[in-house]
Amino acid sequence: MIRDKARLDAILIRIVVAHALVTCLLFYLTDVYEFALVHDPARMHFASAINGFLYVIASSSLIYLLLRRYAARVRHSTAELRESEARYAVLIENSRDGIFIQTGGRFAYLNASACAMFGVQSPDELLGTRVVERYHSAYHDKVLERIRIINEERRPVSTTDEKCLRMDGTSFDVDLQAVPFIHNGENGALVFFRDISRRKQAEAEMEKGREFLAAILDCIEDGVMACDQNGILTIFNRSTRRFHGLPAEPLPPERWADHYDIFEPDGETRMRMEEIPLFKALHGTEVTNQEMIIAPKDAPPLHILATGRQLVGRNGSKLGAVVSMHDITAIKRLEEHLHQTQKMESIGTLAGGVAHDFNNILTVIMGSCTLLMMKTGANPELEPFVKQILDSSERAAKLTHSLLAFSRKQTIKPLPVDMNDIVLTLKDFLERIIGEDVHLETALSPNPLIVSVDRGQIEQVLMNLAVNARDAMPNGGGLRIETSLIEIDERAVEPKGCSRGVYVLITVRDTGFGMDKSTRGKVFEPFFTTKEPGRGTGLGLSMAYGIIKQHEGTIEVSSEPGKGTVFSIYLPIRQKNGDDTTMNKDLRLPSGNETLLLVEDDDAVRALNGDILASVGYDVVAASSGDEALRLFERRPDDISLVILDVIMPGMNGKELHDRLKLIRPQVKILFASGYSADLLLQKGVVPNDVNFLSKPFAPHLFLGKVRDLIDQ
């Protein structure tokens, strides 16, 4: 159409130029003709008339053509304007956005979408009404100000998130843009607005979904974090913040490293960026159970197992990466505790073995001293030395008892015992444990303090407290153990867990570091320890607490940083002492003339016990193994009155020999002797249930008395 208009304009220009040339030529020829006919007036008038006629014809034709062209253009422009108006009217009427015109703050036009949004059937229902009435009252001031700006300042205005009202009073959210507009000669505005209620609802649902997802993630104990394809962190749950020691308020990812460090599993080597699980996952490397240590600035380090992978869309596009982090700190601690427990178990096994062998040695020493005193008589020169050997043997026997308690080879057996005796017996052993730079002092009650306890377990408690005190005094210090009698009545403050009555109070006091309130509240918890890794299991005090509770007592702790620690143990008092552990040195020994079978794999013990038995009249048949003893018994089963068996022997052990002997002669009498306790041997099944048992080391008078009692039964 544009090309046709240009072509027509060019034709008109050429016609106008041709008309001008023809007119000039015509006037020139007419003048020439007039000069030729000047002598003839009639012809001259005729030529002038012809000239005028031709001019009129040419000019009229040109004017006609020009007017026709103008009329065509007017008609064409009018048609285009009408077509444009119709097109825009169709667009406005069929627009999904609401469109209205306001003049003077009132509706002057509304399209169909605007009517639908406002809930009217026809624009006539709103034409002439105030625009502000169709807005929620909370927005009236804002709407009036916007109308003023448009009408007076002629500036466009846009706004988001306003609420309009339908005719039924319900509201809907809109985004709005208004531009100055003149309608029927009046200043007004053309307003475009869109119902965004669904979008707002979708956003609310999306926000609710995000909150729901965040709530779910926060309930997960594992840390979860995700980043987009640019590495910007977008999701991280509460556990992630806890792992990294991050504050609750928003924090840019680039500042996260200000609050924590990441180390390799050794806890010393800083992890390179390329090895961080999220970085590896973002770059396409799948991470499975990668171990690392996160060390917050103001919290203990955490052992973490990280698993992550890259996030990929359905079309294969890279969306980012996600990593989950599992806290294995407790597992690591349990592993460390297990290792420590295994070490302690190994040490305990070693201690138990040493104590067992030492018991055999003590048996030889004590028996030899007794025989020596019998042979020398009341020799005033030798007797003090022999008694000193016996006294030392008794102390050594108590030391082996402590070793067996340490190795947990003693079974729980509460017996009446003097607490002062336990402390005195344990003192030498404790001095070896705590070292020379810690001074051990005891302050014991002048009166016997009889309690019903398992001696080994109470010794274990005191050893644990002594070891803890030593660790709290790395540069040396003082350890004091006190015993006293205390009565708890209505006038006294009852220790937690103690009822009214009379108690033995054992106080263990050190001059070490001390503890703050938080630490004091956790000292009796299993696996809690303030010692550095590898130096403690965290079980000592919890075991002490359990042992004292089993004995119907109470243990309490008082301490302050820098002022040492005091442990107070309360145990119920007993009225009499039933633990007679003093070896009788009376040389009047039970005797007999029966035949005895002595089975002992230790040569020294076998020889000594044989001499002791023979010295009082017994006929002794000795064997160094179970097989040899079985052969000897088979030769003379009816002559042997008693079989004395060691329990643990190479080859055939004591129980196996016991069973074989019973098959040969069911009524045979058997006495077991061992450096281990009978209860432990029963648990391991190496002695029968109906056992006659004598624990090593034993004094000769106890040994011979037990033998005589069994023979006489």
Give the Å distances, CA to CA, from 279 to 274, 322, 566: 6, 10, 52
Model confidence at 708: pLDDT above 50: yes
- State the average pLDDT over residues 173-202: 86
The pLDDT tens digits of the residues spanning 590-638 come to 888 888 888 888 887 888 788 888 888 888 888 888 888 888 888 888 8
Would you give the DSSP letter of residue 640? E
- Homologous superfamily, domain 595-712: Response regulator (3.40.50.2300)
Q: What is the pTM of this model?
A: 0.45
Domain ranges of the chain: 2-91, 95-195, 201-327, 411-583, 595-712
Positive/negative CA dihedral, 114, 120, 124, 128: negative
Average of per-residue pLDDT values in the chain: 77
Q: Matching CATH topology for 95-195 and 201-327?
A: yes
Cα–Cα distance measured from residue 500 to residue 490, given in angstroms and rounded to the nearest whole number: 8
Q: How confident is the model at residue 274, as a pLDDT?
A: 86
Backbone angles phi, psi at 386, to 5 degrees: -65, -40
- State the average pLDDT over residues 347-371: 69
Give the model's confidence band at 577: pLDDT under 50 very low, under 70 low, under 90 confident, else very high.
Answer: very low
Per-residue tokens: 574: 């007993």
| Type of residue numbered 5 | K
Q: How confident is the model at residue 588, as a pLDDT?
A: 58
- Homologous superfamily, domain 411-583: Histidine kinase-like ATPase, C-terminal domain (3.30.565.10)
- The domain made up of 201-327 has a fold known as Beta-Lactamase (3.30.450)
Of 92 and 441, the structure prediction assigns the larger pLDDT to 441
CATH class of the domain comprising 95-195? alpha beta
Q: DSSP characters for 399-433?
A: HHHHHHHHTT-SPP--EEEEHHHHHHHHHHHHHHH
Percent of the chain having pLDDT more than 90? 3
Backbone angles phi, psi at 640, to 5 degrees: -85, 120
Of 440 and 76, the structure prediction assigns the larger pLDDT to 440
